Amino acid sequence: MSGTPTAEKPEPRRPAPHSNDDAAPAPGPGQRWWRKAVLRPIVLGTIGLALLLISFFLYPRTADVSSPAFARLAVSARDIQVAFIDYGVEQVSAGVAEIKISVSLPTGTLGPPAGAPPALLAMAPPFGTAFRDCHLPACRVQRTGTISSYFWARRLIFRPAPNSGPTATADFFVKARSFGIASNGVSTSVAIPEVLYQGLGKPFLLTLYQLPSASSYDWSASPAAVVTSTTAQWQDDVTSGDTPGRAAVGINHAAQTRDDIKIFIAGALLGIAGGAIIAAVQEAMHLRD
C-alpha cells in the first residue's frame, strides 16, 4: 500500500581512507632500548681498538746502542819524535768509508833525524771488516773459521806541511755502512782506535768523525775537543806501548725529550684503550641478561 512506510536499507560502511601515518607502527620503547644496548659495546670496542693502534704506532722504537768495535793502529817510529797522530773517518758512500791517517813531527823540525830507521804505519780494521782493495804484500788477510782479519802496513814518507811539522799521510778504504759509529737518533757512540806506539815523545791522538748534527749532542760524558754542526774531534794522549781503544758517547737531549713525551702519550692512550675494551666486553655480556 502506498501509505505503508517502507524500511530503508542501511548503506554499507566504507573503509576509512588510507593514511600514510598508519603504514608501519613506530618502534616501541623496548626496540629502541635493544638497539642502543647493541650499539654501545660496538662503539666502545671500536674506540678502544683505534686508540690501541694509535698508541702502538706512537710508541718510539729506539734500539739500544752498543759500543762499535774500534780499529787498531801501530806506529813504529824509532829514534823519531812524533807530535800528532790524526785519525779521521768519513763515509764516502753507502757501503764504503774512508780512513785518513796522518803522522806529524813537531813544528820546526825538518824531518826525521839522519840515520833513523824508516817509520812504519800499520792499520787493522775491526774483525769482520774488510778493505775495499787488498793487495799483497802490503795488505794481508788472516781467516779464523768464518771471521777474517785484515792488516795493511805502509812506510811513512814525511813531507813539509802548512801549519805543522813534516807530515806523512795514508788513506784506507773499508767496506762498511757506518764505520766506527753506532747511533739510534738519541745517543751516538763512536770508536776511538787502539794505538800501539813505538817512538820518542808522547804524541796526541786526534780522532775526527763526520757526524750529522754533531753539535746537537751532549758529549760531556766523553768530552770532545772540537765540535761543529757536522764533525766532532777528540784528543787523547798516546804513550809508548799500547793505548787502548775506547768509546765516546753523546746524548741528544732534545730527541730524548721527544721520545719521553711520546712514551707518556702512548701509555695514556693504551690505558684509555684498555678501559674502553673492558667496558665493551662488560656491555656485551649484559646483553644476555
Residues 175 and 160 grouped into a single domain: yes
For residues 174 and 71, is the Cβ–Cβ distance under 8 A? no
CA-nearest of 117, 133, 98 to 200 is 117
Separation of alpha carbons 81 and 40, rounded Å? 84
Residues 96 and 223 grouped into a single domain: yes
Instruction: Name the CA dihedral angle for 33, 35, 41, 45, rounded to a multiple of 10 degrees.
Output: -150
Residue 41 forms part of a structural domain: no
Residues 156 and 269 grouped into a single domain: no
Inter-residue long-range contacts of 178-181, CB under 8 Å, 24+ positions, other chains counted: 178/91, 178/97, 179/89, 179/91, 179/97, 179/99, 179/125, 179/129, 180/68, 180/70, 180/71, 180/89, 180/97, 180/209, 181/68, 181/89, 181/209, 181/211
The number of domains in the chain is 2
pLDDT at 134: 81
Residues in the chain: 289
pLDDT, block means (10 residues), the chain with 289 residues: 52 55 53 63 75 70 74 92 94 92 92 88 90 83 77 91 90 92 87 94 94 88 90 93 92 71 73 76 67
pLDDT at 63: 61
pLDDT at 8: 55
Residue 230 forms part of a structural domain: yes
Q: How many CB atoms lie within 10 A of CB 215?
A: 14
Residue 121 forms part of a structural domain: yes
Separation of alpha carbons 50 and 35, rounded Å? 23
Residues 147 and 262 grouped into a single domain: no
CA-nearest of 180, 197, 169 to 86 is 169
pLDDT at 141: 83
Residues 280 and 204 grouped into a single domain: no
Residues 168 and 257 grouped into a single domain: no
Q: Enumerate the β-bridge partners of residue 235.
A: 206
pLDDT at 1: 46
Residues 265 and 196 grouped into a single domain: no
Residue 80 forms part of a structural domain: yes
Helix, strand or coil for residue 225?
A: coil
Residues 220 and 266 grouped into a single domain: no
Parent domain of 184 = 72-251
